[in-house]
Homo-oligomer: A and B are copies of this chain.
Amino acid sequence: MIKVGVLGARGRMGSEAARAVGEAADTELVAEVDQDDPIERLVEAGAQVAVDLTHPDSVLNNIKFCVENGINVVVGTSGLGPAELDSIRTWLADNPQVGVIVAPNFAIGAVLSMRFAELAARYFESAEIVELHHPKKADAPSGTAARTAHVIAQAREQAQLGTMPDATTKDPDGARGAEVDGVRVHAVRMTGLVAHQEVLFGTEGETLTIRHDSYDRRSFMPGVLLGIREVPGRPGLTVGLDTLMGI
């Protein structure tokens, strides 16, 4: 049994994670910490792994505390850029037995989608992304779509593909969408939807579509549990769930 503490345990994602840890056969929920609770509870409870699902403002301090106290961390909170990752590496250098896994997206289907997009990109003349979300989302395109566009662009560059064919000369209202690293990205916002993405590839006479539908926060839990199981055996910093998945 892996002893797990959840940071942000009363938030939407955190409460779901606490439930999942409690239900899995090989993990034990030993501490639930929210914003007014002392983080020292993790130590008192003997947590081997902490799951951080808090807020961009607090995540870095939480990681520092855990690393210095020998607790492995699985991070699902967003907002960690290159500078923050460097700080984490510095702390880990002093605590080389500790592991930290930072995953921008814990939905296994989303991680697979992105990896498959990266593998497929070099074989197709055209690539575009359509992401579809509930209408309460504030930013367009989604972070996952922007990252997917980025890995497609990199793979095209490595394969020395040129720009995609596009004879559009008349598009007065911007129907062709956003261009992210040279890849067109379209964002649909619609009542009834949750979080969905289609990556479309086309070449002479054929198309390939990779679609991911996320209906529920529960879809993140298999990825969170995978991180919890893997982090004790992976000292140092690991970025991205794909590394753990061996794809």
Contacts and interface: CB of A to CB of B under 8 A. Distances in A.
A31 to B, nearest CB: 24
Interface in A212-247: 212-222, 245, 247
A229 to B, nearest CB: 14
A139 to B, nearest CB: 4
A164 B130 CA distance: 19
Nearest to A170: B139
Contacts of A126: 135, 189-192
Interface of A is mostly: mixed
A113 B203 contact: no
A136 B167 contact: yes
Contact of A187 (B107, B176, B213, B221): B176
A184 B188 contact: yes
- Indicate the member of A131, A169, A173, A184 with the most B CB atoms within 10 Å: A173
Interface stretch (A39-47, A52-60, A94-102, A115-123): A115-123
Given A130-B130, A138-B170, 5 more contacts: A119-B247, A126-B135, A126-B190, A164-B189, A207-B215
